[in-house]
Amino acid sequence: GAGVSQSPSNKVTEKGKDVELRCDPISGHTALYWYRQRLGQGLEFLIYFQGNSAPDKSGLPSDRFSAERTGESVSTLTIQRTQQEDSAVYLCASRTGHGDTIYFGEGSWLTVV
Amino acid sequence: GQQVMQIPQYQHVQEGEDFTTYCNSSTTLSNIQWYKQRPGGHPVFLIQLVKSGEVKKQKRLTFQFGEAKKNSSLHITATQTTDVGTYFCAAGQEGNFNKFYFGSGTKLNVKP
C-alpha cells in the first residue's frame, strides 16, 4: 500500500483479555518497528525486525507481549492478559534497509477497561 | 535502554518568534532523527543526522548534530501556527544504526 497500515485503529478490551494488533508496512520495507505511546508521553521502543534477522525484542515490557513478522510483510503484536497500564497508542513504523526515512502508521489506540 | 533527554518539555511562543529544542545523550550516538507529531496524529519523519557537527536546513528549520555526537538541536526561525505540535528526537544506538530511542518530546504552542 501507499503507507503503513495498522488495524484496528481503536480497540476497547476488558482487563485479562488478549489482543492482537496488526501492521502492514510499506511494500519493500525490510525494517519494521513497534513503539508504544502513552497519553502525552514519548515513544517507547518495543521491538524491531530487520529482514530475516532475529528480531530485537529488548523493549518488550513483559512476557505478556510478543510480536511476529511474516517474512518482510505483515507484523502482529500480541498482548496477553491485558492490564490497564497497557492502554496506549501502539505505533508501527517501517523503512527500507538502507534508506533514512521512517514512516509511521496512524497507530492502534488500545483502551483496557 | 539508552537515555535521551529532551528539553524543554513545553514551549509557548508568539507567532514570529524563534524556537529551539535540544536533545542530549550521555553516550555517543550513531545518528539522530527528528520527528513532528501533530495533536492526535502520528510522528512524521523530518530528518536524520549522521555526521559529527552536521547541520541541515529545511526552509525555516535548522538541525544540528554536535561535534561529539552526544547532542542535537532543532531550531525554527519565525514560527508559524502551522508549526504547532510535539517535536521528538530519536537517537540511534552506537553500533546499531537502526534501533532508535525517543526523547520525551517538546510540545510547541504558537500564539497567533
Distance from CA of B78 to the nearest CA of A (A): 26
Q: What is the pLDDT of residue B95?
A: 74
Choose, out of B87, B99, B106, the residue to mutate when testing the contact with A (most A CBs < 10 Å).
B99
In the predicted model, is pLDDT for residue B54 greater than 80?
Answer: yes
CATH code at position A100: 2.60.40.10
Please check whether residue A83 is in contact with residue A22, taking contact to mean a CB–CB distance below 8 angstroms: no
Distance CA B87, CA B10 (A): 10
Distance CA B88, CA B23 (A): 9
In the predicted model, is pLDDT for residue A71 greater than 70?
Answer: yes
Distance from CA of B112 to the nearest CA of A (A): 23
In a domain, A36, yes or no: yes
Q: Which of A71, A81, A67, A82 is nearest to A112 (CA)?
A: A82
B4-111: CATH topology is: Immunoglobulin-like (2.60.40)
* Domain extents in chain B: 4-111
Q: The domain containing residue A76 runs over which residues?
A: 5-106
Chain B residues within an 8 Å CB radius of A57: none
Q: What is the pLDDT of residue B2?
A: 58
In a domain, A68, yes or no: yes
User: Nearest residue on chain B to A55, judged by CA atoms?
Assistant: B99
* Best mean pLDDT range from A27-31, B30-34, B48-52, B59-63: B59-63
In the predicted model, is pLDDT for residue B61 greater than 60?
Answer: yes
Q: What's the total number of domains in chain A? A: 1
Q: Give the model confidence (pLDDT) of A33-57 as tens digits.
A: 999 999 888 899 999 998 888 899 9
User: Nearest residue on chain A to B40, judged by CA atoms?
Assistant: A106
Distance CA A21, CA A7 (A): 6
Chain B residues within an 8 Å CB radius of A48: 98-99
Q: How confident is the model at residue A100 (pLDDT cuts 50, 70, 90)?
A: confident
In a domain, A77, yes or no: yes
Average pLDDT over residues A14-35: 95
